[in-house]
Amino acid sequence: MKKRKNQANNADVIELMAGKVACSDYSKPQSFIGYVYRDYGTTFMCRISVPAEPGVFIGQISVGWKDRPENTEDIVTVMQVASSILYKK
């Protein structure tokens, strides 16, 4: 297994695996696709695992904004719904 050097990315993945939604300012790309996000002007990012269940992680949903949203609570709710739609037991 390849060791990841980006501690911010590692912390986000741990949050995702714990069933949480990781929302934060996005100032430094954490992966190749992160450079694409940055080039499109993303400054704030939320991520959720699919499914959003602790200990189960088959993928993730990432959503970025040019400006930080005023209300992340609504965003978290919508992302939880989207994650549940993508994964059915």
pLDDT score for 68: 94
Reported as half-sphere exposure (CB side, CA atoms, 13 A), residue 85 has a value of 7
- Domain ranges (residues) in the chain: 7-86
Q: Report pLDDT digits (tens) over 4-26.
A: 566 777 788 888 888 889 999 98
CA distance 15 to 7: 12
Q: Tell me if 47 sits within 8 A of 16, measured CB to CB.
A: yes
Positive or negative, the CA dihedral 17, 20, 24, 26 is positive
The pTM for the full model equals 0.80
pLDDT score for 10: 78
Q: Tell me if 74 sits within 8 A of 67, measured CB to CB.
A: no
Q: Report pLDDT digits (tens) over 16-72.
A: 888 889 999 988 887 888 899 999 999 999 999 998 888 888 889 999 999 999 999
